[in-house]
Amino acid sequence: MTTDEIDNPAAYWGRLWASGRRYSPLTDAETALLAQYTGPGRGRLALDIGCGDGALTHHLAGLGYEVTGLDCTPVAPALAEPTAGPVQYCCADIEATQPPPLPQRAFALITARLLFAFIKDKPSFLDRVRSLLDSGGVFWVVTPMADRLPPEHASIGITGLDEELLTRRWGTVRATDLGTLRCYALRAWSADDTETRGHR
Ligand SMILES: C[S@@+](CC[C@H](N)C(=O)[O-])C[C@H]1O[C@@H](n2cnc3c(N)ncnc32)[C@H](O)[C@@H]1O
């Protein structure tokens, strides 16, 4: 399935979740990396885009973030484990013309796990992510790499060109491979970076 074949993401993904389809679970190696790059939440705001059944959303709440899980279909978050933590869900297509109806506007951490390959207009998506990130905030992306997948599954991964686009225009970029997945910690420019660059 390529992005061009997904006309209606809510219907497409809703059907898959309802049919019992599930995706690569979080691993200890992945959560250890995430903790290394993002640190404890201390009540800061996080947004998990394409949150699915909320596994990462709940993990972030456990790290102390106040988290919003966003997904285009209500079917997936309805499967989430109940939690006592500060978690809320928002049903919206992140690629819709209008920005998602989120109560907050500036997040310290934005995550997108197993999503980027399915985004149709990647430059606009990245602009939207940047507009929702705090200065110095981190965009955490976990994605399969197309060239490490069998050809029939390559469309669920990103290409070298996608990676080039994803990693442009950040203050710092860190990438770590975990099997067929690559994890990116992309830190937005902060006022300090701008000042430092200005004094070079
Ligand atoms: C492969 S699943 C991954 C789910 C979860 N992040 C995980 O790691 O298990 C992709 C998720 O992204 C959601 N999604 C796809 N396109 C989206 C869009 N344009 N806006 C919001 N959510 C989207 C789907 O509904 C689905 O739940």
Residue 35 has phi, psi (to 5 degrees) of -65, -40
CATH code: domain of residue 42: 3.40.50.150
Q: Whose CA is nearest to atom 12 of ligand 1?
A: 50
Q: Whole-angstrom Cα distance, residue 2 to residue 156? A: 8
Q: Probe ligand 1: pick from 71, 97, 121, 122, max atoms within 8 Å of CB?
A: 71
Distance from chain centroid for Cα 81: 19
pTM of the predicted protein model: 0.94
Average pLDDT over residues 160-188: 97
Per-residue model confidence as pLDDT tens digits over 8-52: 999 999 999 999 999 999 999 999 999 999 999 999 999 999 999
Q: How many structural domains does the chain have? A: 1
By residue range, what is the domain housing residue 21? 3-198
